[in-house]
Structure 1
Amino acid sequence: MRLLFSFGVRAALAVLAMLLTAPASLAQQPIKIGIVTLLSGPAAGPFGVPARNAAELTAELLNAGTVPAPYNQKGFGGIPIELVIVDEAGGPQKQVAEYRNLVPRVDIVIGYISSGDCLAIAPVADELKKLTILFDCGTPRIFEDASYKYVFRTGPTGTMDNVSVALYLTERYPNVKSIAGINQNYAWGQDSWADFENSMKALVPGIEVKTSQMPKLFAGQFGAEITALLASGAEVIHSSMWGGDLEGLVLQGAPRELFEKHKVILSAGEPAINRLGTRIPDGTIIGARGPFGPFAPDTELARWLRTSYHDRYHVPPNYASFKMAQAILGVKAAYEKAKGTGTAVPDQDKIIVSLENLTFEAPGGMVKMALGKGHQAIMDAAVGTTKVEGGLLKIVDIVRYPAEKVNPPDGVKSEAWIKSGLKK
């Protein structure tokens, strides 16, 4: 019996020694990342599913160590990552409940397309003290109206989108005299129209606002609003619509010559390129919520995402895909900065400190966590115009605007900055 006991002790000690000397990737449990994106409903196809696809692809290739430098170390600091994916559908109240259920199951949360969901989730993230990365939603209110320790957004706000299309429009059509808008009636649509309207008033004093149509989110049918726009006589029509609403506007407006009789701006129109193609009329001004999709720079990281994504899913990655990959890579950069050259796993507070004010490279270009006390990203903006050639839709006359030109200084609200005349 004593011999068996001695043997058992020696075996247990041997196993313990193996665990203590094992590589971190074997001894350490995977880092669990909650991914929240729209997997059902009208925004799933153009936004949510491409974002989920990019999350799964990026995680797989990071774990394999096949992402280009500076992200070629496997996983996060050699530790594999594991995704827990949640559907964002259902609205803010449901998402808060889903978030509370998700937090105990994961180490980090990355998610949210809807601005309404982001506004609801941010204070709960600080309440629960869980590092949460907003990857897409565009309302600038997140960090302009509040301050958070545990919340970051690695993508730019809608302010940049609407300032850049206003600059683009006035540079090409300096004699424009009137505008109108059709935007979804919630935080994103309201903020986008306000930013565009105020940018135009700053750039073209005396500009006339003919009408602002605000249909409810995911209304899908816009017959009455299109009639009002056609009757308005506005030279330019602005829309920040996305998802099924954007597609509905294009498919219902084009046959009624909305795009022929007016210069139409789609500030978040890039995802429609893959889905609608040549049904988007010639001469439409298109934005991509940043330098994403066909607007991305020609870098090794951009080529990696385009090629890997297309090989896996047989379509190009759109801006939702770019922004999801960007969020994951940003967290990886912060994690590995916090970890340094040591072997100890960094705690959440160290990762937060590393992510604040971080500058990192992503497939869309350089990302600077420069606003919201280092919690809000800025990037260069890109805008172009559609043109059908050889049966294909192309983006031509692309202009890039430096991040500092299309974003307010830190601590200044977007609305005040725009109304000041975009002064730095």
Structure 2
Amino acid sequence: MPQTQTLDDIRVDFDAPPNVPQDRKVDLNFAMGTIPNDLVDPYEPCEWLNGPEIPRLLYNRAAQGGLGAISGSGRQGNWVVTHYEDIERVYSDNEHFSNAGTAEFQRLIGETFKSIPLAIDPPDHSKYRLFLFPFFSPSRITRVLEPRIREVCVEMIEAIADKGEVDMAWDFGRVFPVRIFMGLMGFPPPMFEQFLAWEWDILHSGSLEKMQAALRGVLEFLRGFIAEKEKTPDEHLVSSIVHGQIEGRPLTADEKIGMVWFLWLGGLDTVAATIAQMYRRMALQPDLQRRIREHPEIINSAVEEFLRTQPILSSARSAKMDFEWHGIQVKAGDSFSCLNPSGNFDPARFENPREFDPERKANRHFTFVGGVHICLGAHLARRELRVLLEEWFKRIPEFRVKPGADTSVFPGLLSIRNLPLVWDVA
């Protein structure tokens, strides 16, 4: 796709609330990860949006046929922040910005429980996060989860090493983190394909009918699974939630389904998308691949740089009150989108931001969002990616994209569906 170069190219006229100045009305939907490209850095089309000449608040026209239209929210659009400093404020200023209602797809079928802890604002947010965090803490991951992560990783790599090829997106990236997640939660392995089918319909189909059918299916399963664990506890996370206590009391039915549903939704394809984009970049940049292979001591910082340069999600918030910001009269209820594919490359924060530096220091990016709502599974995701690179480079020689394969990628959660890689078998 041609890269948009100026603000004039994206200015559009549409009906917007009266507090939106005419010159802030834009169409930024090209930057929301729904248009594929074949660039080595697929987020490059967003590069100019964090420039000093770009207004600090833009108002994006609602995407036609997007979730807002499907859910009947009637929103005409939303504010978009593209500079690192402003994104940081939206994520951390809990007085002015709310996370209530975020990713609550269950409303499409009339459910009223909240996605916990994502859609809970402070001060209540902290009690739920404190309850769940020990299951995702670095110490527990090292002690309990890493042996299983490494076991699954080695098993999957050794199964393909002598074949000389793999579809890294479909057959590996799609499978590896979900196997870990299902084991963590205690879900039955035969549900693997059904889970991914439901998740695809909810997040990517764009069809209200498919979304509603998938939501009914997964919530019926999760409620049945919760009921089963209430009767027969085990050592896995769903059972720990079901039999846990918050502030000295048992969890309510809405709290149980709210937590299990949120973890289910967040655990299926974020790491998969990251793996696909990570291996695509290494295949297209053999020098980068060689550098990490020859210097395994930089794997931790390389993973952080892959995360910074692959911001697969842009998170949303809403204004809790009327206030003035950058000369704009923000109104209570106004929706805000933080464009992480712009903020993660802001030259005001990162030196040479478009350069992939696997040894970059102080790499404080927004791929796991920020503030109190920073991703609960961030430590687990990092460990999965680190272990994968460690074990991969021990067993697989230099790899490349299979000749003739399409390397187009959606710069977002949709990512890349198939990525055939090949290597020379000794």
Q: TM-score of the superposition, structure 1-length normalised?
A: 0.26
Q: Which structure: greater strand fraction?
A: 1
The answer to which structure, 1 or 2, has the higher relative contact order (CA under 8 A, 6+ apart) is 2
Larger radius of gyration: 1
Alignment TM-score, normalising by the size of structure 2: 0.26
